[in-house]
Amino acid sequence: MSRSERLLALIQILRRHRRPVAGAVLASELGVSLRTIYRDIGSLAATGAPVEGEAGVGFVLREGYTLPPLMFNAEEIEAVVLGSRMVAQSADAPLARAARDALAKITAVLPENRRDDVASLGLLSAPRRPAAPDGVDLALLRQAIRAERKIWISYGDEVGNRTERRIWPIALTFYERVRLLAAWCELRQAYRHFRTDRILALAETGDPLPRRRRVLMREWRATEGLPEFD
């Protein structure tokens, strides 16, 4: 790739990570020498990109840095289009509509030849519907997760036993046949997973989560043995 393409790719790699990335890792991913990485980091810093770090420690791109609209390569277009189509086929109606709208916005700012790539892309997504309909509006769950608010739910287990719980919702996972809400349960004093088709009722409490959701997410992932996001 050209030097300008490499600098852009370097920024994209740094944007993908929230923690410092070792120069050797950057060099390996870009297929260049460590010396080249150090030189490129210096060039980015000279142009105003807020890259922080040093040799032997690692480098990180400070949060809040934005770039003007960029050209997508072929694989990036495939990833965006396929991901949007999968959401549109498997999520609740408001999120599915948002996926279609987002793809339309992205397509509108692409060069004309790239717009044709989107229209003719040979990657499709088949509909994926849950085994049972959701018991509540998933938009309300997503809103509670975004707002970092506690909610009250009435929940029925696999044999029909019903309990009322106050929970701290942190993540909603879309599997092929079920959707699972991950949350801290005040009743059980532990992280629990709730199938959305078994949530019989839901109400907002207005109470904020005691800790930031990102902290709770880290705790939950550690409990489940899941790797942390970069």
With a pLDDT cut of 70, the percent of the chain lying above it is 95
Residue 69 buriedness (CB in 10 A; 0-12 / 13-18 / 19+): exposed
Q: How far is CA 202 from CA 92, 101, 108, 210, 215, in A?
A: 16, 28, 38, 20, 24
CATH 2.60.40 matches 138-224: no
3-state SS class at 183:
strand
What is the C-alpha to C-alpha distance for residues 167 and 165, in angstroms, rounded to an integer? 6
Convert the pLDDT of each residue in 199-226 to its tens digit: 999 999 999 999 999 999 999 999 999 8
Convert the pLDDT of each residue in 20-34 to its tens digit: 999 999 999 999 999
pTM above 0.75, yes or no: no
Q: Which residues of 103-126 are buried (b: 16+ CB within 10 A; e: fewer)?
A: beebbeebeeebeebbeeeeeeee
Residue 164 has pLDDT above 90, yes or no: yes
As a CATH number, domain 3-61 is 1.10.10.10
